[in-house]
Amino acid sequence: MQAPPHRSSPACRPPVSSAILLQEVPLALDFAKVLGALAAFFEREGFRYAAVGAFGLHAYGLTRATLDLDLAVESEAQPVLVAFLESLGYETIHRSSGYSNHVHLLPDLGRVDLVYVSGETSRLMFAGRGTTLDVGGCRVPVPRPEHLAAMKIHAMKNDPSRTLQELADLQFLLRLPGIDEAEIRGYFEGAGLLERYLEIKRLG
């Protein structure tokens, strides 16, 4: 079982063989530059975070073009994190207790989307075994695939227009070796979307 980085551990370090290397993805956003700034912030302030969304999926082998950086962060980080991003020139285009979205006029700084987690969700996400994604010497923690699936199910429930893309991602996650299908099925059931899970299983 791989433990998440301790709060005192350096956020950025030279690439190591155990981390998955992000390379040759044609994106305008400079992920290494943005993550370098954010990782230094999280280390300094003592907040835990993890890559999610398309960026997190890349750590498990699914690569597709994306124009933004998605991170899950402890909820208590929101006030100082939003202020930090705005000090870098980002505009906050949406902010609620669970989410915030930030865009920058410079293409290499691009867009940062944040999901805020707390309580049991936070404990499970940051304490569970996952993997790391190496980006320009920054080892970015990535949650267990089951937790990525849970977030996608939640997103699909809240925004049905995302159903097709989320189902494709969920189908990929369910095919990963060693995935806990019963856990993921439970997330579908809890969201009232069991039929979607059965649909994926029918497709094989």
Tell me the pLDDT tens digit for each residue of 68-100: 999 999 999 999 999 999 999 999 999 999 999
Q: Give dist(CA 60, CA 20) in Å, integer.
A: 8
* pLDDT of 135: 87
pLDDT of residue 3: 39
Residue 25 burial (10 A CB sphere; 0-12, 13-18, 19+): middle
Q: What is the pLDDT of residue 11?
A: 52
Average pLDDT over residues 127-151: 90
Q: Provide the token pair at 179.
A: 């995935």
Q: In terms of C-beta distances under 8 Å and separation of at least 24 residues, what long-range contacts does 164-167 make, across chains too?
A: 167/196, 167/199, 167/200
Q: Per-residue confidence at 28, pLDDT binned at 50, 70, 90? A: confident
For residue 71, give every residue at least 6 positions away whose Cβ sits within 8 Å of its Cβ, in sequence order, or none: 38, 49, 50, 51, 52, 55, 112, 113, 114, 115
Of the chain, the percentage scoring pLDDT greater than 90 comes to 73
pTM over 0.75: yes
